Structure 1
Amino acid sequence: MNARIEHLETSGTFSLDGGTWEVDNNVWIIGDDQEVIVIDPAHDAEAVQKQVAGRTVVAILLTHAHDDHIRQVKDVQERIGGQIHLNWDDKVLWEQVYEGTEPDVKLTDGDTFTVAGATLRAIHTPGHSPGSTCFLAEGLEAHPVLFSGDTLFQGGPGATGRSYSSFETIIESIRTKLFSLPAETTVNTGHGPSTTIGEESPKLQEWIDRGH
C-alpha cells in the first residue's frame, strides 16, 4: 500500500440563507509522491498548492457544494490542475458561487477513482445537501477509510436546518449506506475530528429520537 492520507485544516467562512459563520474545514489529500486526489480544497488555495507540491492531481473531489467547500476550488484548479467532480444534484448550491458554470465532471453514485494503488468509490448520501457524496477508500490502510464530508461527524449527522437539506433524508443515507460499512471503518470528516463507523452507529436511534 503506497498511498497515504494527508490532512490540511483551513479556515474561512460559510454563508447560506443570509447568515455567515466562521468555520474550519478539513482538506484531505490521498496519494503518494507522484500523484494525488484532493477532497474538498476549502478556503486557502495557496495552502493546498503548497501541500500538493507539484504532484499530478488525478481528480478534485467535492463532497457537496456549500460555499465553504467550493469557493476556492476554481483557484485551486488553476494552481494544481485536475478535473473538478461534483454530484449535480447540488446544482443550486454550486450556482450560488459559480453562476452559469458547471463542474468538469458530474459525479454519480458508484464512480471510482484510483490513485497510487488505492481506490475511492463515490457513495451518494443526500440529506445535508441533495448531492452530498462520501468517498470510500480501499487500499489505504488495513481497514476501509470513509471521507464523509458533512454527512457524518463525530457525535452525529451533518446539519440539516438550512435550505436544501433534510434530517429524514440524511438519517436514511447514514443508516442504509454508511452504517452497513465495517465497524472499524475510519471516518474522516469535513470539519472536526475523525471517528469510526463503530463509534457512531450505536447512536442512530438516539439521533432519530432527538430529531432536528
Structure 2
Amino acid sequence: MDTREYDGHVEPGGPSATRLCSTLTIRKASVGGMDNNAYLLTCRVSGAQLLIDAAADAPRLLELVREGSSTARLDTIVTTHSHHDHVGALAAMVGATGARTAAGAEDAPDIRIPTTTLLRHGDVVRVGVNDLEVIALRGHTPGSVALLWRGEEDGDHLFTGDSLFPGGVGATQGDSERFQQLLDDVEERIFDRLGDDTWVYPGHGDDTTLGEERPQLPEWRERGW
C-alpha cells in the first residue's frame, strides 16, 4: 500500500493514492491516455467493493481491485456517464469479476454493456455498510451522476465524474442550454447542500474541495463554460 498522505494526485502508470476512513477505504488510480481517474471504494467492515468508472486498462484496474481484496472481489461498477473514455474497460472488468453494473438511466442506452441498475436522482448505492447517494447532474450528458458518501466524522466525499472539476463544470460543447442546466444542478444539488470541506473526486486530474471552487461560481456562469 502506498503510505503517502492522501492529496488526490496520481500519475498515469503510477501507484494508487489511498485514503483510509473509518468504514471506507478510497483508492484512486489514473488509467488510459486521457488520464482518467478510477476510484475503488472498499468497505472496511464487510469487504464489499465498488469501482467508479472502469475507464481503461483492465489489467491496472484489476490490480487496483486486488489492492482492496486479495480475491479480486468486486461487487459493483458504477459508470458516471456514457462517454467512451469512461467505459473502455467495462466489458473486461465485468467479465473478469462478475460485478453488477450501474449507471444513470438516461445514459444507460448509450453504454454497450448492459446496465444492471438504472440510477436516478436520490437513489442510494450501498458498499457494505456505506450508503452512496446518487446525485443527477444533467448537462455533460443527460444521465451523468455523482456519488456522495457522507462519512460523518470523516466528512463528505463527492465523486463527480466529468460534471465538476477544479475550475469549472464539465464540457457542454458550447450548448448554452446544457451549460445552464449543468451549472444549475451543480449549484442547487451540490453547493447549496454541502459544506466547504466536502472533498471532490473528479473524473480527470487532481481533487479539489467545494470551498476552493465556491467563490468561482459567478465567474463560471458569466463566462458560459
TM-score using structure 2 length: 0.81
Give the structure 1 partner of residue 77 of structure 2.
Answer: 60
Please report how far the alpha carbon of residue 32 of structure 1 lies from its aligned counterpart in structure 2 after TM superposition: 4.1
Aligned residues: 196
Q: Is the 8 A contact 2:54 2:88 kept in 1?
A: no
Q: Is the 8 A contact 1:118 1:140 kept in 2?
A: no
Give the structure 2 partner of residue 75 of structure 1.
Answer: 92
Taking only aligned residues, the RMSD between alpha carbons, in angstroms, comes to 1.9
Please report how far the alpha carbon of residue 162 of structure 1 lies from its aligned counterpart in structure 2 after TM superposition: 6.8
Query: Which ranges of structure 1 fall in alignment gaps of 5 or more residues?
Result: 13-22
Q: Is the 8 A contact 1:41 1:70 kept in 2?
A: yes
CA displacement, residues 149-201 of structure 1 (integer Å, 9 cap, x when unaligned) = 000001111111178x8111111111111112111100000001000111111
| Aligned partner letter, 2:210 | I
Q: Is the 8 A contact 2:135 2:146 kept in 1?
A: yes
1:182 lines up with 2:176 in the alignment: no
Matches of 2:109 and 2:172, distance apart in 1:
16
Question: Which of the two has greater strand per residue?
Answer: 1
Q: Is the 8 A contact 1:111 1:122 kept in 2?
A: yes
Q: Is the 8 A contact 1:64 1:90 kept in 2?
A: yes
Q: Is the 8 A contact 2:43 2:130 kept in 1?
A: no
Matches of 2:109 and 2:117, distance apart in 1:
16
Give the structure 1 partner of residue 120 of structure 2.
Answer: 108
What SS is found at the alignment partner of 2:220? helix
Percent of pairs with identical residues = 32
1:160 lines up with 2:172 in the alignment: yes
Give the structure 2 partner of residue 20 of structure 1.
Answer: none
| Aligned partner letter, 2:204 | H
Q: Is the 8 A contact 1:4 1:140 kept in 2?
A: no
The more displaced of 134-143 and 105-114 is 134-143
Give the structure 1 partner of residue 54 of structure 2.
Answer: 41
CA displacement, residues 11-42 of structure 1 (integer Å, 9 cap, x when unaligned) = 13xxxxxxxxxx11000011146221100011
CA displacement, residues 112-169 of structure 1 (integer Å, 9 cap, x when unaligned) = 1222432211111111110000000123862100000000001111111178x81111
| Aligned partner letter, 1:2 | T
Give the structure 2 partner of residue 131 of structure 1.
Answer: 143
4+ long deviations beyond 6 Å: none
Matches of 2:163 and 2:181, distance apart in 1:
11
Q: Is the 8 A contact 2:36 2:203 kept in 1?
A: yes
The more displaced of 32-41 and 42-51 is 32-41
Please report how far the alpha carbon of residue 107 of structure 1 lies from its aligned counterpart in structure 2 after TM superposition: 1.3
Please report how far the alpha carbon of residue 88 of structure 1 lies from its aligned counterpart in structure 2 after TM superposition: 2.2
Q: Is the 8 A contact 1:25 1:42 kept in 2?
A: yes
